């Protein structure tokens, strides 16, 4: 059976309840659309217009739809713009269950049909009263699991695992009569919060909570709510599910224009610029007063949230001229969540765990060295969590508890065996990083001499890239590259690049290229875009290069050796399963930058090495396993997870 949100909205309108559900307690008006998805319907559907019952009933009754009901083309565009991914009931159940497992200090007890038994010094009333917040809640799948957000199929009550669903189960198992049940049902709703950016999603979330109350009341006491009960629960729901931009603490688009906003969400008011709109307020039902959301968990008697949970937005809208880049913002939501609760559990992209991606490197290190932070689950293939969604580097469910010390992650891998191998390698007395001899792909650059001799070149190159030896440089500047070495008395080198989708070498005047330390040495070239980032995958075969050969930005180079035998040894090392297993610690995308080689130990590639490089790659692997003291299990892990290279 498919959920009928539109019918429920019309029924609530007929009851005179819809306008109450559209209220915004901070502005004392109504919530706003906060999306341009409905702009074509008229001027009253602009993103900063208030939502009114007349705009979604009568002839406009088809306006509000669940995500499952939205037309595919609209949903696709919306997903791209707001970087939304829709959380399945299974993931919500898993994450809510993880928070409960920590609360009960045992496996999630709600997975069993038997009555939930509370540990000593914990009463069921405490569980019901625990304040839990879903950030960027959408239709509130973590709070109430009425239906599968991807299909709209209604979920039976006994199979629901939302935060409120579980609290109401506790009431059914512990309260003695209807009055006691009703008292604690209200407290359960009063202790459950969520905020959302878009008005249509927020209205659906509020309807879902109200319908959940109706459904459980009828299932338990075989009746519908009374008039007063509707008023009380709607008031609670409207206060507790509010509209907010989670990064500003205000209603969407409320920041002033014309000057920069100073200060962050959690900085003191006197350090922030004076805004045209107030900060969003939440209600503390135990102290019977409202407060600014940003003041939560700031000490004293201010309200705090016990748990924050959710699926934050991953990227901001595409900015600037680079239409292929959308900056990440999920890390900002993580930081903001850590400010308002002791326990935070979120699902988000995982690239930062490998110190990769576009999140700030300093932030990556802060989290990796946070002893209160851990990863509950990592999935390299994001489409297994979010179907038809490609998230480079995978996704992770993280858990942070400021009262517990889990030990800093420092270096993250998805495999326990690889963690052990990594620590053995890093703790070796002679450890040096392979990244020390990897030269960036941008090392080879054009010179002023080239531009002086060819003033027309500046018009053939991209703005701001006048000196780049770009991947398509052979096509952009054909007048300076030659198939055969010219006999004009000038000194020439060869440049490795790609043309017509093939590797080719072309001659270029030596003085047209910047001086690179390994240009006149033996080295190895390997494509910078290499594979997909899957652990243990085969790399594109590296290329040996003699002195006097450089490369375009398609390739990075490794080493600066005096002997050809050394680069042959390097190639065998790159092909080894041992080296590629450690390369896989940081290489989670196709990018093969110098930094990705950080945990690959540098070897002596001369004939004096402790490794015999004359034997096969398989035999070299055996020597490396022995050198670093790998156990049989660790050796088996590498052999079974890393593919062989020809």
Cross-sheet strand order for the sheet of 502-509? 502-509, 492-499, 549-551
Domain ranges of the chain: 5-311, 313-412, 434-641
What pLDDT does residue 324 have? 58
Cβ neighbors of 477 (< 8 A, separation 6 or more) are 454, 457, 460, 461
Residue that has been written with the tokens 């509209």 in this structure: 243
Report the C-alpha gap between 358 and 339 in whole angstroms: 23
Q: What is the pTM of this model?
A: 0.75
What pLDDT does residue 356 have? 82
> What is the SS3 assignment for 201?
helix
Q: Residue 585, Cα to own-chain centre: how many angstroms?
A: 18
What pLDDT does residue 367 have? 98
Report the C-alpha gap between 137 and 248 in whole angstroms: 16
Mean pLDDT for back-to-back runs of 10 residues, the chain (646 residues): 90 97 97 94 95 96 80 44 71 98 96 95 96 97 94 94 99 97 99 98 98 98 98 99 96 61 46 62 96 90 94 75 73 97 97 90 97 94 89 94 93 87 93 97 96 97 95 97 97 97 96 96 96 93 97 97 97 98 92 94 97 98 98 98 96
What does the longest C-alpha to C-alpha distance in the chain come to?
A: 101
What pLDDT does residue 69 have? 65
Helix axes 89-104, 163-174, angle to 10 degrees: 50
What pLDDT does residue 267 have? 47
What pLDDT does residue 262 have? 43
Secondary structure of 249-266 in HEC code, one letter for each residue: CECCCCCCCCCCCCCCCC
Report the C-alpha gap between 5 and 207 in whole angstroms: 8
Report the C-alpha gap between 589 and 532 in whole angstroms: 5
């Amino acid at each position: 059976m498919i959920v009928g949100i539109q019918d429920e909205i019309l029924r609530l309108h007929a009851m005179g309840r819809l306008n109450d559900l559209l209220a915004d307690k901070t502005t004392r008006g109504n919530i706003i659309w906060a999306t341009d998805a409905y702009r074509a319907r008229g001027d009253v559907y602009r993103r900063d217009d208030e939502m009114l019952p007349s705009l979604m009933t009568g002839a406009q009754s088809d306006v509000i739809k669940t995500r499952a009901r939205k037309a595919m083309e609209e949903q696709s565009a919306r997903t791209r713009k707001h970087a939304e991914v829709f959380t399945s009931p299974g993931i919500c159940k898993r994450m809510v269950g993880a928070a409960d497992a920590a609360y009960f200090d045992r496996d999630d007890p709600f997975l069993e049909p038997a009555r939930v038994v509370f540990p000593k010094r914990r009463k069921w009333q405490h569980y019901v009263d625990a304040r839990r917040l879903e950030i960027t809640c959408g239709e509130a799948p973590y709070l109430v699991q009425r239906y599968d957000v991807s299909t709209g199929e209604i979920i039976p009550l006994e199979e629901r695992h939302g935060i409120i669903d579980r609290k109401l189960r506790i009431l059914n198992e512990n309260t003695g009569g209807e009055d006691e049940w009703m008292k604690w049902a209200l407290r359960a709703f009063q202790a459950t919060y969520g905020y959302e950016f878009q008005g249509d999603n927020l209205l659906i979330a509020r309807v879902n909570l109200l319908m959940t109350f109706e459904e459980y009341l009828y299932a338990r006491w075989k009746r519908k709510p009374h008039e007063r009960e509707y008023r009380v629960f709607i008031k609670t729901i409207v206060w507790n599910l509010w509209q907010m931009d989670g990064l500003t603490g205000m209603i969407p688009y409320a920041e002033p224009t014309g000057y920069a906003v100073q200060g962050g969400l959690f900085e003191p008011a006197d350090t922030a610029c004076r805004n045209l709109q107030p900060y969003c307020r939440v209600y503390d039902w135990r102290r019977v007063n409202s407060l600014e959301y940003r003041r939560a968990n700031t000490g004293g008697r201010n309200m705090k949230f016990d748990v924050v949970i959710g699926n934050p937005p991953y990227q901001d809208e595409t900015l600037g001229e680079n239409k292929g880049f959308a900056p990440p913002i999920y890390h900002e939501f993580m930081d903001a969540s850590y400010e308002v609760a002791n326990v935070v559990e979120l699902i988000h992209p995982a690239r930062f765990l490998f110190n990769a991606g576009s999140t700030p490197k300093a932030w990556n290190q802060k989290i990796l060295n946070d002893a209160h932070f851990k990863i509950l689950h990592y999935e390299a293939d994001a489409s297994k969590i979010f179907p038809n969604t490609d998230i480079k580097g995978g996704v992770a469910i993280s858990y942070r508890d400021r009262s517990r010390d889990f030990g800093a992650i420092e270096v993250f891998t998805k495999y326990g065996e690889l963690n052990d191998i990594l620590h053995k390698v890093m703790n070796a007395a002679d450890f040096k990083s392979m990244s020390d001899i990897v030269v960036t792909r941008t090392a080879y650059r054009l010179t002023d001499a080239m531009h002086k001799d060819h003033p027309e070149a500046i018009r053939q190159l991209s703005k701001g890239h006048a000196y780049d030896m770009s991947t398509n440089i052979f096509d952009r500047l054909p007048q300076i590259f030659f198939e055969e070495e010219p006999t004009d008395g000038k000194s020439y080198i060869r440049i490795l690049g790609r043309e017509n989708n093939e590797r080719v070498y072309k001659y270029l005047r030596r003085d047209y290229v910047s001086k690179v330390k390994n240009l006149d040495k033996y080295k190895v070239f390997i494509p910078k875009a290499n594979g997909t980032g899957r652990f243990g995958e085969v790399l594109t075969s590296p290329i040996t290069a003699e002195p006097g050969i450089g490369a375009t930005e398609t390739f990075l180079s490794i080493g600066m050796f005096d002997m050809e035998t050394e680069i042959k040894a390097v190639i065998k090392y790159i092909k080894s399963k041992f080296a590629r297993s450690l390369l896989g610690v940081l290489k989670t995308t196709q990018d093969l930058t110098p930094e990705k080689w950080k945990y690959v130990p540098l070897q002596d590639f001369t004939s004096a090495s402790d490794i015999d490089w004359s034997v096969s790659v398989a035999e070299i692997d055996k020597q490396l396993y022995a050198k670093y003291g790998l156990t049989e299990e660790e050796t088996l892990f590498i052999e079974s997870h890393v593919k062989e290279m020809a």
